[in-house]
């Protein structure tokens, strides 16, 4: 019985299912239920349906019964194959606040998280919200069309200051202690395994809420998570370098802003396709760069960011990362005929 059940007043009891018809016997084994079961069995057999041995074993074996406050039994002996976890995403945060303040904020205010990972020398993990309940950690958030991710995610808050302000007013992001990362990895692996969360749905708060957040920031070891197989493979360096060179060599310069916005949307971000290098686009691109190109995250388009986006959006599953063949030498083009200027060439891309 989950805590939801307890709150709603449901009562549960277990029984062997084989020991008579006393007051503690579950409803699934009373005389009426047994009669109904035989009737249903006969009906199904009459329909020509094959009943597997698993069903028969369940029908004859033990059971768990809950009872509503109205006294109606709820028989839970059968389990549907067609089901999965409601948890689709894992969202990683840092608190900015220290441990006492973080616990206070996350337990006494309208914000919360399932887990808090402390920054002590031997880190501890607090569970503030049961996984089957919704924690209020992501606020306005979206990824690949999914919105308001609190309803479909587990949230982990890492006690971490985030950044300090440098002499010129800039943010200097601080590293995560190795002990904290060592404690985080098995927690993430366990949650991901139990809920079968897809690798590409393990995300930072800044990725699902780029207009408001940057956590866990550019020092979070996303590459390590990728190398451990927790998150998707890191963009192949050879492909990125080759694609970057193509972008840098194309006559028109970088791919244009609409291309970046389309690629960022394909990757998963909620971004308005305004066609303008506006604040919302820079926020999204900055979050992308924080994860995949943490050496520079100015939110401005550049060839390396374009190449990273292209490779991430065009993976080659099952193919080894081979050097790209040199393009064949082309004969000298004939003299162009006199005609109006042609439109600019399409963005060159490597074959996916
Ligand atoms: Zn956050």
115 forms beta bridges with: 127, 156
- pLDDT mean across residues, the chain: 81
Structure-token pair, residue 48: 């020509």
pLDDT-derived band at 139 (thresholds 50, 70, 90) equals very high
| pLDDT confidence bin for 11, thresholds 50/70/90 | very low
Q: pLDDT tens digits for 237-249?
A: 999 999 999 999 9
Residues for the chain: how many in total?
A: 352
Confidence of residue 335 (pLDDT cuts 50, 70, 90): low
Ligand 1 centroid to residue 264 C-alpha, Å: 21
Residue 315 pLDDT: 87
270 near 213, Cβ under 8 Å?
A: no
Give 1 Cα–ligand 1 centroid separation in angstroms: 31
Q: How far is the CA of 251 from the centre of ligand 1 (A)?
A: 41
Q: Classify residue 178 as exposed, middle or buried by CB count within 10 Å of its CB (0-12, 13-18, 19+).
A: exposed
pLDDT at 125 > cutoff 50: yes
In this prediction, residue 18 carries a pLDDT of 33
Who has greater pLDDT, 351 or 29?
A: 351
Distance 55 CA to ligand 1 centre (A): 46
Please write the tens of the pLDDT for every residue from 41-97.
344 344 433 334 434 444 444 557 899 999 999 999 999 999 999 999 999 999 999
User: What is the CA(153)–ligand 1 centre distance, in A?
Assistant: 13
CA-wise closest residue to 299 among 271, 333, 268: 271
Q: Where are the alpha helices (DSSP H) in the chain?
A: 3-7, 31-46, 53-60, 99-108, 178-195, 205-208, 222-227, 237-249, 257-267, 279-292, 303-313
100: CA distance to ligand 1 center in Å?
Answer: 17
Which among 93, 121, 120 is positioned nearest to 105, based on CA atoms? Answer: 93
With bands split at pLDDT 50, 70 and 90, how would you rate the model's confidence at 253? Answer: confident
Instruction: Tabulate helix, strand, coil % of the chain (nearest 5).
Output: 35, 10, 50
Distance, in Å, from the CA atom of 239 to the CA atom of 262, rounded to the nearest integer, reads: 20
Task: List residues, by chain if needed, whose CB lies under 5 Å from ion ligand 1.
Answer: 93, 205, 215
Residue 123: name the closest of 204, 178, 173, 193 by CA: 178
CA of residue 196 to ligand 1 center, whole Å: 22
CA of 136 from ligand 1 middle (Å) equals 10
Question: Which residues have a catalytic role annotated?
Answer: 157
């Amino acid at each position: 019985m989950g805590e939801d059940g307890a709150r709603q007043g449901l009562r549960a009891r277990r029984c062997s299912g084989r020991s008579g018809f006393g007051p503690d016997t579950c409803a699934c084994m009373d005389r009426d239920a047994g009669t109904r079961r035989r009737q249903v069995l006969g009906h199904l057999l009459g329909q020509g349906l094959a009943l597997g041995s698993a069903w028969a074993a369940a029908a004859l074996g033990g059971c768990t019964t809950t009872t509503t406050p109205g006294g109606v039994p709820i028989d839970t002996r059968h389990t549907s194959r067609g089901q999965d976890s409601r948890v689709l995403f894992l969202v990683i945060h840092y608190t900015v606040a220290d441990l006492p303040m973080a616990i206070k904020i996350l337990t006494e205010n309208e914000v919360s998280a399932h887990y808090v990972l402390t920054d002590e020398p031997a880190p501890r993990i607090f569970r503030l919200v049961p996984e089957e309940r919704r924690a209020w950690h992501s606020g306005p958030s979206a990824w690949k069309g999914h919105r308001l991710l609190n309803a479909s995610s587990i949230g982990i808050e890492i006690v971490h200051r985030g950044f300090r302000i440098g002499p010129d007013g800039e943010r200097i992001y601080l590293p995560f202690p190795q002990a904290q990362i060592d404690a985080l990895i098995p927690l993430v692996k366990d949650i991901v395994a139990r809920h079968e969360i897809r690798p590409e749905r393990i995300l930072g708060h800044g990725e699902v809420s780029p207009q408001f957040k940057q956590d866990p920031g550019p020092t979070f070891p996303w590459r390590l998570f990728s190398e451990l197989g927790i998150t998707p493979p890191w963009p192949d360096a050879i492909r990125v370098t080759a694609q970057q060179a193509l972008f840098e060599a194309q006559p028109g310069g970088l791919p244009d802003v609409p291309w970046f916005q389309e690629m960022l949307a394909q990757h998963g971000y909620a971004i308005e396709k305004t066609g303008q290098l506006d604040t919302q686009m820079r926020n999204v691109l900055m979050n992308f760069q924080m994860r995949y190109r943490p050496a520079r995250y100015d939110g401005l388009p550049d060839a390396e960011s374009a190449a990273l986006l292209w490779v991430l959006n065009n993976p080659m599953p099952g193919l080894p990362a081979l050097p790209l063949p040199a393009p064949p030498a082309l004969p000298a083009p004939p003299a162009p005929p006199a005609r109006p200027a042609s439109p600019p060439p399409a963005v060159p891309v490597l074959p996916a």
